[in-house]
Amino acid sequence: MRSFLHPKLINGPFDDPGLFIPLFFENRALMFDLGDISPLSPRDILKTSHAFVTHTHMDHFAGFDRMLRLFLGRDKELHLYGPEGFLKNIEGKLAGYTWNLVDNFKYCFSIRATEVHPDHLLVNSYFCHDKFLPAHAPEKTAFSGKLLEEPALTVSAVILDHNLPCLGFSIKERFHINIIKEQLERLGLETGPWLRQFKQALYDHYDPDSEFEVICKKKDTARKFVLGELARQIALITPGQKVSYIADVVYSKSNAEKIIALVKNSDHLFIETAFLEKHRDTALQKHHLTAAQAGTLAGQAGVKQLTPFHFSPRYIGQEDLLYSEVMAALKKTL
């Protein structure tokens, strides 16, 4: 089964947290957390359309500058999401530079930022040609758990506690569509941009009885099909993947309940495991999880694959202990 989502941690488990998710067939990516993003190529960073920041501790937000540097001067809009205080954090970052020459730029890069509160969102825009000043007073809209809804995917968030509001995220594909190459060949169809339109028509729930035209450029032909019939012949439609990302949370009843509800049945959970269970008191004091707590949460949520990360540097050389503790806790709940 080929998923639309291909998540990968940006750094090693002892380095800054962050997840990069290229979207298959879209030449676009999503990012969770913006710590050190230097291992990503400029090309990959520029694919990012939406970045979701758990909280603005430096290890989760210092990469904003790198991103801004690369996007500046380009004809792009970058969507950013973060917790309470996020708009001020962004405005502070943008105010740290001098923008006297940006009116000369041909393209007007812009940032659209969303700050998440328990029952509402505050949204503002920042345009390069306006020296990145806030475009207006923040717009207030309702928040019911979803930050992004596209035909192919949804990103949900919950507000967790890390001695400050910290967001947990989950991305869910609606479903994914695999094209059966042999069937294309059998029908004498070549691959091309029409496949993207075809998939989009399925994601948008077009009437299966509607007509769909396949334009083959090489052969210079246009053939008409019934959409549903074509889908039955060339597409394998499978349930969407769910990928979740939890970083920097204290273990508490309220956090545990919210995390389990958010990440329930995830195909892949990325979760911080800062400390070993024997250092549980330190974890509590620093508002982080232990490996055992992370594994238990994953197990209780019925997660299929688990990747722990954000290890405390005190365990350098002992990472096996963290991996084995988290996996043991996961197995215990099965």
Residues found near Zn ion in the complex (CB under 5 A): 57, 59, 248
148/247 with CB nearer Zn ion: 247
Q: How far is the CB of 58 from Zn ion (least distance, A)?
A: 8
Cβ–Cβ < 8 Å for 278, 313: no
Q: How far is the CB of 16 from Zn ion (least distance, A)?
A: 8
What is the sign, positive or negative, of the torsion defined by CA atoms of 109, 106, 133, 141? negative
5/90 with CB nearer Zn ion: 90
Long-range contacts of range 181-187, CB-CB < 8 Å, 24 or more positions apart?
Answer: 183/233, 183/234, 184/234, 187/233, 187/234
Q: How far is the CB of 229 from Zn ion (least distance, A)?
A: 51
Our CA dihedral for 197, 199, 204, 210, rounded to 10 degrees, sits at: 70
Please enumerate in sequence order all residues whose Cβ is within 8 A of that of 130, keeping only pairs 6 or more positions apart, or say none: none
Cβ–Cβ < 8 Å for 21, 31: yes
Phi first, then psi, for residue 266 (nearest 5°) are -65, 145
Q: How far is the CB of 203 from Zn ion (least distance, A)?
A: 35
C-alpha span between 192 and 217 (Å, rounded): 8
Q: How far is the CB of 220 from Zn ion (least distance, A)?
A: 56
36/248 with CB nearer Zn ion: 248
36/59 with CB nearer Zn ion: 59
C-alpha span between 159 and 145 (Å, rounded): 9
Q: How far is the CB of 63 from Zn ion (least distance, A)?
A: 13
Cβ–Cβ < 8 Å for 60, 247: yes
167/297 with CB nearer Zn ion: 167
Q: How far is the CB of 136 from Zn ion (least distance, A)?
A: 31
Q: How far is the CB of 37 from Zn ion (least distance, A)?
A: 14
Best CA proximity match to 227, nearest among 213, 238, 217: 213
Q: How far is the CB of 60 from Zn ion (least distance, A)?
A: 6
Count other C-beta atoms under 10 Å from residue 15's C-beta: 18
Both tokens assigned to 3: 């998923």
C-alpha span between 97 and 129 (Å, rounded): 14
54/124 with CB nearer Zn ion: 54
Cβ–Cβ < 8 Å for 67, 37: yes
59/267 with CB nearer Zn ion: 59
57/279 with CB nearer Zn ion: 57
61/323 with CB nearer Zn ion: 61
C-alpha span between 274 and 264 (Å, rounded): 22
